[in-house]
């Protein structure tokens, strides 16, 4: 079960080292890492090149102009040769060294995709939990799996991809809605933390980030025929508040 991991990056010199090292220490080694760079002007590509030998032929790097994050993701997914494909952002990390082993083990069965728990951490040390997305819920009440933990078989991307490049924030929502409402697909929940994510991305960067996310999300929900999009988004915002409140009661072992 070969796993393809796609990392889109642009001027990610401050964080991509953590991303790469969290991948290279995985106990499961049947993977390829596809780094799609948008012509970075900092040290990003030099940092990636330093790990070339440790990858032992499992690294693919392209650097060319793109139209944004989702365009870069689509390029990486198109190049993927693995049975299962996932996305690891250039400022995110795997939670521990067992993540790929769990993904591979649960993808061998009849499931078409897997997802797990995610923790948002502080930007500087990645050691202080600020928000957790854990467990499963009801899609009708605004529940969605954490997109960075979603790993699906290549056939799922062939059917429901690529990511819409006309959207800036909510294209992952669009893709997940298609997957979750496809009754022919079987998704498996891994009840473990899989990814540590820095808080402060385009959709989580304060009030303005949430406002932009809500506007695009509303468009996506209407486009996909979801009834009562205002209610759906309202439930999502309520869930975010609960996720932040849940942190002190969640058993986490966070290390740099």
The domain made up of 3-249 has a fold known as Spore Coat Polysaccharide Biosynthesis Protein SpsA; Chain A (3.90.550)
One pLDDT digit (tens) per residue for the chain, 256 residues: 899 999 999 999 999 999 999 999 999 999 999 999 999 999 999 999 999 999 999 999 999 999 999 999 999 999 999 999 999 999 999 999 999 999 999 987 779 999 999 999 988 888 888 989 999 988 888 899 999 999 999 999 999 999 999 999 999 999 999 999 999 999 999 999 999 999 865 544 555 555 677 788 888 989 888 887 888 878 777 777 777 766 665 666 665 4
3-state secondary structure of 14: coil
Alpha-carbon span 137 to 144, nearest angstrom: 8
Q: Are 35 and 7 a contacting pair, CB within 8 Å?
A: yes
The label of the residue with tokens 């486009």 reads 223
Extents of the domains making up the chain: 3-249
């Amino acid at each position: 079960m070969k796993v393809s991991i796609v990392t889109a990056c642009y001027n990610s010199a401050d964080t991509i080292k953590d991303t790469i090292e969290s991948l290279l220490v995985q106990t499961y080694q049947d993977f390829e890492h596809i780094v799609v760079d948008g012509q970075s002007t900092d040290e990003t590509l030099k940092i990636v090149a330093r790990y070339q030998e440790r990858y032992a032929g499992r690294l693919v790097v392209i650097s060319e102009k793109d139209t944004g994050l989702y365009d870069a993701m689509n390029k990486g997914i198109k190049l993927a040769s693995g049975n299962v494909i996932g996305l690891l952002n250039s400022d995110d990390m795997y939670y521990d060294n067992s993540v790929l082993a769990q993904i591979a083990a649960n993808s061998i069965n009849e499931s078409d995709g897997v997802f797990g728990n995610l923790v948002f951490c502080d930007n500087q040390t990645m050691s202080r939990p600020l928000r957790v997305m854990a467990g499963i819920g009801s899609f009708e009440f605004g529940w969605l799996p954490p997109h960075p933990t979603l790993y699906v078989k290549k056939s799922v991307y062939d059917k429901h991809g690529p990511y819409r490049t006309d959207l800036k924030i909510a294209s992952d929502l669009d893709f997940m809605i298609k997957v979750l409402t496809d009754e022919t697909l079987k998704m498996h929940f891994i009840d473990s933390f899989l990814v540590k994510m820095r808080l402060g991305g385009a959709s989580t960067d304060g009030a303005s980030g949430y406002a932009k996310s809500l506007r695009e999300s509303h468009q996506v929900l209407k486009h996909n025929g979801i009834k009562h999009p205002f209610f759906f988004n309202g439930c999502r915002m309520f869930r975010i508040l609960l996720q932040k409140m849940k942190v002190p009661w969640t058993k986490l072992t966070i290390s740099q």
